[in-house]
């Protein structure tokens, strides 16, 4: 019942916030979605409603500003708070602390739609949602009531802190230490490549409270303004420019024991549980970019003329477009299957989530890159949205576990069951 209430609220607020539809990507006359790639296929009526709300929000509130946010490196706080009014700040957080209480599949549908308006901003929203879910799922009553309402409304923003300068894929080797002294932990160390770092309010930090390996890792929530917490310079990135990225530095940073999520030694498990959903989320962001790029490519082929006829009459490009559409739909089906597997806590969930992240982020990047190629020289201009989709989703093959690590997870699952 809570989820149904959230759906109704999203639809009601969406009709108020998103009044007029605009062109996708800000520079192409938008035509209807071809039936074969329609993302609403197989969805319930309620899911179609909030999918439309997300598409409308992307078209009205995000797409017209996507290029500006990228070029000026603007963190669009007010736009994200508008998204939170629709329930997108805590999509799969429980309703008693302000969340929408929706499923993993619902979440994927929303992130795919939002990403058609701005991948970078949606990707940050997905990370914020992951952090809010971790506190909701592993926090006690006091922690949930303290942090989750402000995160769900996006009055406060969250960052996920796992990666370090010396530990990326080998996350269990992290060195940031937390020594307990009375009712506080004293943190020392640094985290690298942190989305939102310096601009956000809540940092979900994996740190070492015990010995080597994953069992020595715990999870602490560190609030901005805590003495000993500081930030590195803002990184200059190829894409994801609407969200700041900085190192997060701890120097004798005293964090209350009351801010620990779960028990000591549970942190690595919490981090991995978060990433399983994070992989579906980031794959869904790639999916939105690919969906938008297929439409942009199709629209360009229909109007661009060379050798006396439109490019849409060129059989080679027809076949390429067909391949792009096929890979788009295949990615969508795999992502949605992974979302269901995670929601149902199936035994294959970890492997399926890894498959979805591997396949979708690789293939969706290829789709966007091919769409840019179809645009010719125009595709390389920043006046055209397709180049930004290419830049923004390239990193999806690296973060939330590199695609090489996804192959490791999948192969281990296969071989352990043989």
**DSSP letter at 164?**
B
The number of angstroms, rounded, from the C-alpha of 124 to the middle of its chain's C-alpha atoms is 6
Q: 24 vs 60, 259, 308, 399, CA distance in Å?
A: 9, 43, 28, 26
Query: Between β-strands 202-208 and 158-161, what pairing exists: parallel, antiparallel or unpaired?
Result: parallel
- Judged on CB neighbours under 10 Å (0-12, 13-18, 19+), 270 is buried
CA proximity to 48, closest of 90, 105, 1, 91: 105
**DSSP letter at 62?**
I
Cβ–Cβ < 8 Å for 130, 281: yes
Enter the tokens of residue 178: 């937390």
Provide CB contacts within 8 A for 242, sequence distance 6+.
Answer: 66, 69, 70, 73, 74, 75, 76, 118, 120, 121, 124
Please pick, among 337, 400, 404, 417, the residue that the annotation labels catalytic: 400
Provide CB contacts within 8 A for 418, sequence distance 6+.
Answer: none
Distance CA 90, CA 413 (A): 31
- Please indicate whether residue 400 is annotated as part of the active site: yes
Distance CA 164, CA 46 (A): 41
CA proximity to 80, closest of 17, 146, 6, 147: 17
Provide CB contacts within 8 A for 12, sequence distance 6+.
Answer: none
CA proximity to 374, closest of 353, 394, 390: 390
Distance CA 260, CA 205 (A): 9
Q: Tell me how many degrees the CA angle 51-341-94 measures, rounded to the nearest 5.
A: 60
Distance CA 35, CA 300 (A): 18
CA proximity to 127, closest of 238, 281, 286, 354: 281
Enter the tokens of residue 145: 């009531």
Active site residues: 400
């Amino acid at each position: 019942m809570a989820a149904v209430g959230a759906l109704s609220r999203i639809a009601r607020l969406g009709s108020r916030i998103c009044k007029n539809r605009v062109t996708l990507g800000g520079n192409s006359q938008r035509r209807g979605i071809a039936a074969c790639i329609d993302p609403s296929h197989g969805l319930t009526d309620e899911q179609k409603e909030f999918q439309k709300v997300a598409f409308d929000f992307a078209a009205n509130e995000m797409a017209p500003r996507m290029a500006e946010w990228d070029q000026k490196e603007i963190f669009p706080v007010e736009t994200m708070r508008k998204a939170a009014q629709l329930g997108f700040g805590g999509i799969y957080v429980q309703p008693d602390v302000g969340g929408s209480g929706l499923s993993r599949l619902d979440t994927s549908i929303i992130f795919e739609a939002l990403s058609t308006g701005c991948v970078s901003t949606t990707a940050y929203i997905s990370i914020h949602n992951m952090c809010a879910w971790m506190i909701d799922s592993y926090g006690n009553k006091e922690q949930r009531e303290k942090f989750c309402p402000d995160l769900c409304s996006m009055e406060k923003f969250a960052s996920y802190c796992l990666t370090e300068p010396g530990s990326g894929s080998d996350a269990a080797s992290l060195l940031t230490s937390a020594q307990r002294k009375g009712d506080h932990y004293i943190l020392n160390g640094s985290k690298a490549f942190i989305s939102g770092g310096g601009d956000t309010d809540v940092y979900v930090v994996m740190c070492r409270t015990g010995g080597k390996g994953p069992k020595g890792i715990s999870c602490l929530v560190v609030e901005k303004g805590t003495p000993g917490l500081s930030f590195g310079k803002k990184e200059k990135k190829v894409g994801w420019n609407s969200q700041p990225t900085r190192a997060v530095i701890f120097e004798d940073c005293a964090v209350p024991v009351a801010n620990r999520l779960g028990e000591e030694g549970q942190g690595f498990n919490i981090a991995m549980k978060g990433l399983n959903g994070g992989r579906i989320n980031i794959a869904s962001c790639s999916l939105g970019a690919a969906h938008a790029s297929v439409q942009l490519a199709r629209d360009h082929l229909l109007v661009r003329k060379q050798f006396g006829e439109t490019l849409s009459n060129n059989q080679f490009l027809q076949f390429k477009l067909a391949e792009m559409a096929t890979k788009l739909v295949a990615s969508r089906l795999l992502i949605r299957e992974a979302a269901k597997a995670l929601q149902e806590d199936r035994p294959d969930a970890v492997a399926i989530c890894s498959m979805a992240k591997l396949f979708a982020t690789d293939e969706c990047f290829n789709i966007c890159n091919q769409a840019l190629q179809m645009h010719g020289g125009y595709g390389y201009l920043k006046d055209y949205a397709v180049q930004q989709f290419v830049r923004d989703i390239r990193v999806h093959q690296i973060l939330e576990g590199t695609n090489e690590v996804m192959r490791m997870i999948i192969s281990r699952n296969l071989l352990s069951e043989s």
